[in-house]
Amino acid sequence: MAAVDLTTHPGHLARRLQQAHYLLWNTMVSEEITSPQFAVLNALVAEPGLDQRTVGERVGLDRSTIAEVISRLGRRGLLDKVRDPQDGRRFLLHLTDDGLRTHRKLAVRTARMNQVFLAPLSTAEQSLFFDLIRRVSDAAEGLRNPAGPAVPAVPQGQALANTTHT
């Protein structure tokens, strides 16, 4: 049996892309705050007072992962949990002053990191790159949701037809 060409395997390429992102994140942005933690800070800058479930949905983290990220950020003093006055079982999340300062500092660093990360691509290619990975990511999110779109069966050796994304 011949070796498989992994350059045609999206999972392999996604893992390599993630490794490059992780390396750049740790060297250019932060060794203390992870990319998912920054995503949570960013979501709470955009929409202060969200509950944990909604933040998880906004940043694409599952229930157990978002709980751990929220816990870590809380222990670092970057966010506060306040009981929801309308639903005592729910907590609303707000960044602390330190959380806001941390977000501001990291936002500048992430912008520089993204320039380095995307440097091999022209502006038009960057736009296309974002569109394509968003479409694949959105479709993958649907696979986790039982009510999401059905996954079409693809005969072995054939590719899915290019469909318009709405």
Question: pLDDT tens, 94-150?
Answer: 999 999 999 999 999 999 999 999 999 999 999 999 999 999 988 887 777 655 555
- Type and span of the H or E element at 83: strand 79-84
Of 36-40, 41-45, 148-152, which range is least confident?
148-152
Q: Does domain 9-142 have CATH number 1.10.10.10?
A: yes
Which structure tokens are listed for 51? 């509950």
Residue 163 has pLDDT above 80, yes or no: no
Closest CA to 67 of 76, 78, 55, 58: 55
CA–CA separation, 37 vs 59, rounded Å? 10
